[in-house]
Amino acid sequence: MAGILAWFWNERFWLPHNVTWADLKNTEEATFPQAEDLYLAFPVAFCIFMVRFIFERFVAKPCAIALNIQANGPQIAQPNAILEKVFTAITKHPDEKRLEGLSKQLDWDVRSIQRWFRQRCNQEKPSTLTRFCESMWRFSFHLYVFIYGVRFLKKSPWLWNTRHCWYNYPYQPLTTDLHYYYILELSYYWSLMFSQFTDIRKDFGIMILHHIVAIFLISFSYVNNMARVGTLILCLHDSSDALLEAAKMANYAKFQKSCDLLFVMFAMVFITARLGIFPFWVLNTTLFESWEIVGPYPSWWVFNLLLLLVQGLNCFWSYLIIKMACKAISKGKVSKDDRSDIESSSDEEDSEPPGKNPHTATTTNGTSGTNGYLLTGSCSVDD
């Protein structure tokens, strides 16, 4: 075991040339980041998880009720043993051939079967009230941590000149504010890792990858004392999150104009921060200024490769946001954000016009009054 630890904490990997772990031990004059500090994130993450539970129940829920947001879930699909068996055992997204087979077997038109699968998928989603409470919690936390980060960085010289991130590196003392900021952010991402399995999200896999990369980057940069540039990265990525959650809350409360405005603001801040400022300001200092002042070493390469992975995720989400913006322009409103599951709080497509029996419409050549076009089965409207 000692040999494995010695290999893992090899100074030649983690630290610049001619620097040892003994050089970064705490003294009476200065405190430096220590790997064991990161254990503090686990009890803090549990506390954040419990604070979230209390906040959603006793703060967010009364606010939602005051805004007339009901706890009603999605429309329930009518019981059908055959469709339920297909849904649970075969596929939640039947293709055109299977839809036509089910249509003949049940004597339903294809569109009604698609609607049944959509309603059945929606049954597994949380209610609008639950979504509102979750968004209000995220909005409150992101707003707080972003304001704290801005106030902290305003007093920091590396905000105004990023070369200060590398002067006297790695012998840069750890301040109380920086330590609190790092542990709070790390704890929050650990709490998201726990809650990700109960929070129903459309982009589950991408978000898990994001949280893992975020936790690894925060921990990695703390251990080898790249915390100064780490604070820039954290604050920059927090800048748009509160706007996104505010847009989602407005959407759930059916304040459409406010939702549209907040989404536009979110899109502008997100794309500016992550496709403009991050690559040309942060990556510039981590790749080029640090090379000039400190020079590369093994963990430097790993750190920058992770930042490039983050930039790849930023590009992916920016593509989805631009796609969403184009869809919103064509429809005249924001109904769903593919990146973070902004959803319309209504189920207009799941409801039938009054007086129409959905299961008696005629089916001609696999169509159902749709001018020959079939809609693919989907869990949600406007995917």
Q: What is the CA radius of gyration of the chain?
A: 25
pLDDT band at 374 (very low <50, low <70, confident <90, very high): very low
CA distance 78 to 116: 8
Q: What are phi and psi of 367, to 5 degrees?
A: -115, 165
Angle at CA 380, nearest 5°, toward 377 and 382?
95
48: tokens are 């954040």
If one compares 373 and 243, the residue with the highest pLDDT of the two is: 243
Averaged pLDDT for residues 195-220: 82
Q: What span, in angstroms and rounded, lies between the C-alpha atoms of 29 and 343?
A: 54
- Tell me: pLDDT of 9 over 70: yes
3-state secondary structure of 342: strand
Percent share of the chain, pLDDT over 90: 63
Q: Which of 78-87, 175-184, 361-370 has the lowest mean pLDDT?
A: 361-370
Enter the DSSP assignment of 125. Answer: S
**Residues paired with residue 342 on neighbouring β-strands, in sequence order:** 337
3-state secondary structure of 30: coil
Burial tier of 304 (Cβ tally within 10 Å: 0-12, 13-18, 19+): middle
> Looking at the whole model, is its pTM more than 0.85?
no
CA angle (144 as vertex; 142, 146 as ends), nearest 5: 65
Please name the residues in contact with 157: beta carbons below 8 A apart, sequence gap of 6 or more: 164
Q: What is the reported pLDDT for 205? A: 79
**What average pLDDT does the chain have?**
85
At residue 3 the predicted structure's pLDDT band, cuts being 50, 70 and 90, is confident
Q: In the prediction, which pLDDT does 237 show?
A: 94
Q: Are 9 and 21 in contact, with CB atoms under 8 Å apart?
A: yes
Confidence at 133, pLDDT banded by 50, 70, 90: very high
Give the model confidence (pLDDT) of 29-64 as tens digits. Answer: 899 999 999 999 999 999 999 999 999 999 999 999
Beta-bridge mates of residue 367: 364
Q: Inform me whether the pLDDT recorded for 365 exceeds 80.
A: no
pLDDT reported for residue 375: 30
pLDDT of residue 78: 87
Residues in the chain: 383
pLDDT of 364 over the 90 cut: no
CB-based burial, 113-132: b 16+ in 10 Å, e otherwise: bbbbbbbbbbeebbbbbbbb
* Residue bearing tokens 């959650």: 245
Q: What is the pLDDT of residues 248-267, one digit of tens each?
A: 999 999 999 999 999 999 99
Q: Give the Cα separation of 87 and 80 in Å (integer).
A: 10
The residue extents of the domains of the chain are 1-65+126-332, 81-124
User: Distance (Å, rounded) from C-alpha 330 to C-alpha 18?
Assistant: 60
Nearest to 103 by CA among 383, 374, 382: 374
Average pLDDT over residues 118-143: 90
Q: What is the pLDDT of residues 214-238, one digit of tens each?
A: 999 999 999 999 999 999 999 999 9
User: What superfamily would CATH give domain 81-124?
Assistant: Homeodomain-like (1.10.10.60)
Average pLDDT over residues 92-109: 90
Phi, psi values for residue 337, rounded to 5°: -100, 115
> What is the rounded CA–CA span in Å between residue 249 and residue 262?
10
Q: How confident is the model at residue 200 (pLDDT cuts 50, 70, 90)?
A: low
pLDDT digits (tens, 9 = 90+) for 74-91: 678 889 998 988 888 888
Place of tokens 């726990």: 194
Number of neighbouring beta carbons within 10 Å of residue 376: 11
Name the token pair of 242: 């509160």
**Cα atoms in the Cβ-side hemisphere of radius 13 Å centred on 154:** 6
